[in-house]
Amino acid sequence: MDDIERRSQRPRQNVLQDVGALVTGLRTTLGQRFQPQVTVNYPEEKTPRAARYRGRHYLRRYDNGLERCIGCELCAAACPVGCILVIAAENTEEHRVSPGERYAKVYEINMLRCIFCGYCEEACPVQAIVLGPEYELSDVSRERFVYTKDMLLEPNPDQQDPLVVGGEQRQTTTSPPPLPLPREGGGTA
């Protein structure tokens, strides 16, 4: 008698116990049949995201509409995958974009490279770049994943619907990005 044979003969239950075990199993599955389902039907229903969820980036403005970004490129330096490109330009009295000396003339993030680590957010001295709750970022070509400044910049608060970011309609799934406004008196214009 080999090992398998012996093992399968070892626990001698009587037939009633065996049938009882079957009935217990069948009752369990049938009981689950009438429990509420745990599935979230994704495109129609969505799970709530954490308050500090790191999704798509936004470039923020001050309340008066000036851009926060001062073109310091610390975000690009902090980025572990090098997906941020910042080209700064000088602010002038006639053309003032941000309250500091310089502003970001070009600000691009390659979303295919980005790992959503949030280091850019931490590196930013004026809290210009934040990661929002939006995560549905699929698209049809690689080129479209390079998000330019006008896509990233949050709308001027007194002009637009806060859900419309950049030129195109991008519906965020919950409320507009939670903007943890810095309360320090850092860079009021």
Nearest CB to another protein, comparing residues 2 and 94: 2
Q: How far is the CB of 24 from another protein (least distance, A)?
A: 10
Phi, psi of 129 (to 5 degrees): -105, 130
CA–CA distance, 127 with 9 (Å, rounded to integer): 70
| Phi, psi (deg, nearest 5) at residue 8 | -75, -15
Q: Quick one: 32 or 141, whose CB is closer to another protein?
A: 32
Give the separation between CA 45 and CA 188, rounded to whole angstroms: 40
For another protein, the closer of residues 30 and 140 by Cβ is 30
Q: State yes or no: residue 14 binds another protein (CB under 8 A).
A: no
Which residue's structure tokens are 């990005």?
Answer: 177
Please report whether residue 81 would count as binding another protein according to CB under 8 A.
no
Q: Is 106 helix (H, G, I), strand (E, B) or coil?
A: strand
Q: Which is nearer to another protein, 4 or 140 (CB)?
A: 4
Residue 186's Cα: distance from chain center in Å?
Answer: 26
Closest distance of CB 22 from another protein, Å: 7
* Contact status: 8 vs another protein (CB under 8 A): yes
Inter-residue long-range contacts of 139-147, CB under 8 Å, 24+ positions, other chains counted: 142/112, 145/110, 145/111, 145/112, 146/108, 146/109, 146/110, 146/111, 147/56, 147/57, 147/108, 147/109, 147/110, 147/111
Site for another protein contains 32 (CB under 8 A): yes
**How many residues contact another protein, by CB under 8 A?**
17
Select from 10, 14, 37, 169 the one that contacts another protein (CB under 8 A): 37
Q: In the set 33, 45, 159, 167, which binds another protein (CB under 8 A)?
A: 33
28 near another protein, rule: CB under 8 A: yes
Token digits for 2?
């080999």
- The yes or no reply on residue 125 touching another protein (CB under 8 A) is no
Does residue 50 touch another protein according to CB under 8 A? no
* Residues found near another protein in the complex (CB under 8 A): 4-5, 8, 22, 25-26, 28-30, 32-33, 35-39, 41
